[in-house]
Amino acid sequence: MGIDTNTSDYDWNAAFAALAWQVELGVTEVMCEAAVDRYTLPEKQAPMIPKAQTVEAPTKPAPPDPAKAAQTAAASCADLAALRATLEGFEHCELKKGARNLVFAAGNPHAPLMVVGEAPGRDEDREGQPFVGRSGQLLDRMLVAIGHARDADDPQASAYLTNVLPWRPPGDRDPTEDEIAMMRPFLLRHIALANPQVIIAMGNFACQALLGQSGILRMRGHWGDCGAIPVMPMTHPAYLLRNHGAKRDAWADLLAVQAKLAAPS
């Protein structure tokens, strides 16, 4: 039975009534005028592309900034014992993994004179003390000559020795800028807790950490300051052992330090 869809009185209601009537008769499919071969595949079948699923990668916490971690750790130290313990537990410096010992300090922490070196060498790493071996022996003679031995019983006649880096760099290489920046908060806290009257900065890297400059042969003999504390840049004893002619300039620098220590506060 066909339905004339071209008559003017054919509307939606009539179409719906016709469809309902055919469903009532048992119609289950709508047939086309031409048969459909459902076993024939199309010549070209579009590939089935699975829908991409967006998977959010787990958010990893940002690695800690070693310099900021050092600043926070150093600021929490109320005394030198706490500072040493904090350095021993500080895990952000790779130098610690290859060093034998922490090289913290030597001498009297109440001394008016503080000597800051660069980094421990083989002898310092083995003994856990700064400025040992040939360069340390030379430094001791230099300090004794101006009345400040590291092992003096009188604190006012003693000296206090430390380094920018507390761990030996592999192969005694130079400290890197990142290593200096990481350890600088500990060094500044060390100075604040010891509160010396005068500081000697031994070598380029000590000057870089304390004064923000390098070029020791140009800087030596000229006073700088770290906060309110006078700093005398000096060539390192290891340099003096290789360049004997530089000892005269080093002696002049030591005399300037001696005069500064003797001057009224």
Q: What is the pLDDT of residues 164-176, one digit of tens each?
A: 999 999 999 999 9
- DSSP bridge partners of 231: 199, 224
Rounded CA separation 215/5 (Å): 101
Task: Mention every residue, 6+ apart, whose C-beta is less than 8 A from residue 212.
Answer: none
Spans of the chain, pLDDT less than 70: 1-10, 30-32, 35-48, 50-55, 57-58, 62, 265
Question: Is-contact 157 191, C-beta < 8 A?
Answer: no
Between the alpha carbon of residue 242 and those of residues 14, 131, 245, the distances in Å are 113, 16, 9
Rounded CA separation 19/212 (Å): 92
Q: What is the pLDDT of residues 2-54, one digit of tens each?
A: 545 455 556 777 777 777 777 777 777 766 677 666 666 666 666 667 666 66
Sheet hosting strand 224-226, strand order edge to edge:
106-107, 159-163, 113-117, 198-202, 229-234, 224-226
Helix (H) or strand (E) holding 234: strand 229-234
- All domains in the chain, ordered by first residue: 66-262 (3.40.470.10)
Average pLDDT, the chain: 89
Question: Which pTM does this prediction carry?
Answer: 0.76
Percent of the chain residues topping a pLDDT of 70: 83
